[in-house]
Each structure stands twice: as C-alpha cells, then as structure tokens.
Chain A
Amino acid sequence: MSNIDFVELTRYAKSFTGLTPDKEALLQQLGPAVVPGLSEVTDKFYATLQQIPKAAVFLEGRVEHLKRTHAKWLESLFTGPYDDQYAQKMYEVGNVHVKVNLPVEFMSGGMTLIQSELLPVLAGACDNDAGRLAAAASAVTSIVGFSLLVMQESYQTGKLAEELEKFLAISGMSRTLFNNLAAAYGK
C-alpha cells in the first residue's frame, strides 16, 4: 500500500464524484443538525443487512462492533476533512473487506442503503427547504461516492494481489521470476 499516492487518488476521486469545496463546506455545516440522527441510520443499515442472508453471514457475532465503527465513519462524513488521510482510511477499509472476502457488490449495495437512509435525516436538518435539501443530497452523494471509489480502488488492488498470490502458489513461480517476466513484456 506504500506506493499509493493518496493525494493523487483523492484528487482523482473528487473529480469523479464532484466533491467540490462548496459541497465539503455544506457537509460540515450540516454536521451539527445531522449527527444526532446518524445512530438511527446505522441501526437501520445493519437491520437491513441482517435481512439479506448473504450479508448476514458476515455479521454474525460482530454487529455491535461493526456498528461502532460504522457510526464513527458516518459522523466523519459530516465533519471532514475530506483529504488524503480520509482517502487512506477508506482505502484501508477496502483492504479489510478484501481480507474478510466480502463480495464486491456489498460495498456499492451498502452505500446505496446508507444514502437512502440518510435522506430523511437530511430532510429534517434542512427544515423542509427543498433547495437546501437538494444541495445536501448532492453533497452526500458526492462524499459517499468518493468513499466508494477509494474503497473499490483498494478492493481491486487487493483482489489482484490475492489472485497473483494464488497464481504464484499454484504455478510454483517465485515473485522475482514473475516480476522479471512482467518487466520483459512491459518494455
């Protein structure tokens, strides 16, 4: 992971998800009004996951611990900063998901659930101001998308590394030989 340029990854992810300084400021402005409602979002999120048999398997005996981590992350969406250190944390989260063999669709599925559960909280925080709610929803879409993009980046890298390890173990090739082979064809 040391060769990942998190500053560049942050820039790339922000450009892809439209996470502008204005949106970042809005998320932080919303923080005080939104944060009190986030524990409910976390509860509903895990309640929904437990209803999905394929997902429930990964939660057995870990829900309370996962909820605490999730609540902390959810709060960070409305406190910031949304910088390279945040990207690095999300990257590590992606790595953890790879290590527990979480299917890749769980990340996008989970983010969709979270976004959906956040809407009523945002509506409450925006005092039924439709314009502000639209802006808030757009900002949340951007930060959730940003987080997802970074996690998928690490997921992809982690999966490739995992597949390569399998290949090396099966073929009996050393990593040095594989690197030399790749270098010979990378010219």
Chain B
Amino acid sequence: MRADMLTSILSELNGTSADIEASAIISTDGLMMAALLPAGMDEDRVGAMSAAMLSLGDRTSNELARGSLEQVLIKGDKGYVLMTGAGGDAVLTVLAKPNAKLGLIFLDVKRAAEAVTKLV
C-alpha cells in the first residue's frame, strides 16, 4: 500500500518534466522503497549509492559549516543525479537529462520530497 503511494509520487514527479528520466525513493540505509528506473539499472546499486552520497553530503555540509543538508547534486556528461532527503529516513533520487532546467526540477523534487516525508 505504502509502496504504491510512493510509486505514485514518483510517477507524478516523472510526469512533471520530460527532463526527468528516472526517480527512486530509498531508505537512509540504502534499501529501495519505490523506484521508476530505466530497464537494466540495478535498483540495489542505485539505492545504496544514493544513500551513501546523501550521508557523505550531510557530513560534508556540516563539516564545512553549510548547515543541514538539503540536496546533493552530481553532474555527469550524460546528465544529473539529484538526491534530496525526505524526512529523516528516506532519500529521493532523481536522474535528469544533461540539458535539464534544474530550477523547475528543484521545485518539483522539493514538493515530491515533502509528500514522501508524510508517508515514511
């Protein structure tokens, strides 16, 4: 039931922008809770890597006096990975195209993360 609701949030998020290629909700321990990923992408790796990056980001933000972590953004030549904390127990990961309009995606992801927070 909860998984369906989380998947529904992801589905809505992916529909808000053609620049969003995939998204997933992961526990802070790195376990996949819901995912809409391209075929062939390993869910376990996406989950564990996202949670690890968020954890490192959180640490970095604190160590470098940037306050509480909001997002971790990674840019590769084939696109973006955006990780956002959703409550204290989950991570929302979004994969976006290289020419994506990040401002809009940030807003949609923030909304989605708030919706996830209410469920986890």
- The residues of A with any CB-CB pair to B shorter than 8 Å are 170-174, 176-178, 180-181, 183-185, 187
Main DSSP-derived SS at the B contact region:
helix
Among A170, A171, A172, max chain B CB count under 10 A is at A172
A187 cross-chain contacts in B, Cβ below 8 A: 42, 44
The 4 A-B residue pairs whose C-beta atoms are closest, nearest first, are A180-B30, A172-B59, A184-B44, A181-B48
Query: Distance in Å from the Cβ of A42 to the closest Cβ of chain B?
Result: 48
Q: What A residues does B49 contact at CB under 8 A?
A: 181, 184
Which residues between 55 and 70 of chain B lie within 8 Å of chain A, taking CB atoms? 55-56, 58-59
Contact between B45 and A177 (Cβ–Cβ < 8 Å)? no
Is B28 among interface residues, defined by CB-CB distance under 8 A? Answer: yes
Say yes or no: B29 contacts A176, CB within 8 Å.
Answer: yes
**B51 contacts partner chain A, Cβ-Cβ < 8 Å:** yes
Task: Please tell me if the beta carbons of A184 and B55 are within 8 angstroms of each other in the complex.
Answer: no
Please count the residue pairs between chain A and chain B whose beta carbons lie under 8 angstroms apart in the complex.
50
Chain B residue with minimal CB distance to A186? B44
- A184 vs B45: C-alpha distance when bound (angstroms): 5
Q: Interface residue count for B (Cβ, 8 Å)?
A: 16
Q: Which residues of B contact A (CB under 8 A)?
A: 28-31, 42, 44-45, 47-49, 51-52, 55-56, 58-59
Q: Please, could you name 25 A-B residue pairs with CB atoms under 8 Å apart, sorted by A?
A: A170-B59, A171-B52, A171-B55, A172-B55, A172-B56, A172-B58, A173-B52, A173-B55, A176-B29, A177-B29, A177-B48, A177-B51, A177-B52, A178-B52, A180-B30, A180-B51, A181-B30, A181-B48, A181-B49, A181-B51, A181-B52, A183-B48, A184-B47, A184-B49, A185-B45
In the bound complex, residues from chain B placing their C-beta under 8 Å from that of A181 are 30, 48-49, 51-52
Taking CB atoms, residues of chain B closer than 8 Å to A183 are 44, 48
Nearest residue in B to A169 (C-beta to C-beta)? Answer: B59
Excluding A171-B55, A177-B48, A180-B31, 9 further A-B contacts by CB distance (< 8 Å) are A171-B56, A173-B52, A174-B29, A176-B29, A177-B29, A177-B52, A180-B44, A181-B49, A184-B49
Q: Which residues of A contact B58 (CB under 8 A)?
A: 172
